[in-house]
Amino acid sequence: MNLQSQQLFNGPGHRAWRVNVQTWCVGYGQFRCFLFTCLILLVGSDAAPAASPPSSTFEEPPAQAEVDLIELNHFLDDTGREVFQQIIFYDWSRHDRQLEVRAWRLVKQPSQLPRRLRDDSGYRVRWRDKGKVREVVSTSLRETFSRQDPERENRRLVPENERIPLWQGF
C-alpha cells in the first residue's frame, strides 16, 4: 500500500493528518475510501498522527508572550448589533494598580478566537503575522460586550507609544 501524508490545520492547536489513499481505494469504492479517510482525520486530530509527516511540514515554534488578561470584546453599534470583535491583551500595573493594554488585534476569522489550554491552566490566542506564528497565553479570559472601545479608553491611561510590546520589533 502506497500511503502519503499531509498535515492539515483545523485551527489553533488542532492538527490532523490526511492520508492519501488513492492506491488503496482502487476497487473498493469511493464511499469506503471516504470513511477510511474520515476515520484517519478523527483519530489523528488529537492523538498521534496516523502517518509520519514529510519533514517540510514542521514549523518553527511560535513566538510566545504571556499577559495577565486576554479580553474578547464585542463592539456594538447603537442598535446593539455587533460591529467587530477584538482581542485585547492586558497586564496588571502594580505601580498604577490597574490593567493596562499591551496590544490588541481584530478577530478576522474564528480560528483567532481565544482557546482554553488542554491542561485547563489558561487560554491562548494564536495567529500568523508576517510569516510567523504568534501566540499569547494568559491564565485569565473575559468576554465583554460594549459600545465604547475599551482599548481606546485605555489610551488615556497609557498612550500607544508607551505600551510594553508583546515582542521586540513587533
| The pLDDT of residue 61 | 83
**Once rounded to an integer, what is the mean pLDDT over residues 95-120?**
92
Average of per-residue pLDDT across 109-114: 93
Binned at pLDDT 50, 70 and 90, residue 59 comes out as: low
Apex 127 CA angle, 122 and 130, nearest 5: 140
Interior/surface letters 127-153, b for 16+ CB within 10 angstroms, e for the rest: beeeeeebbbbbeebeeeeeeebbbee
Q: Is 130's pLDDT higher than 70? A: yes
* Domain definitions of the chain by residue range: 4-57, 63-162
- Centre a 10 Å sphere on the Cβ of residue 67 and count the other Cβ atoms it contains: 23
Q: Is residue 54 pLDDT above 60, yes or no?
A: no
| pTM to 2 decimal places | 0.63
User: Three-class SS of residue 120?
Assistant: coil
| Average pLDDT in the chain | 74
Q: Which one is predicted more confidently, 141 or 128?
A: 141
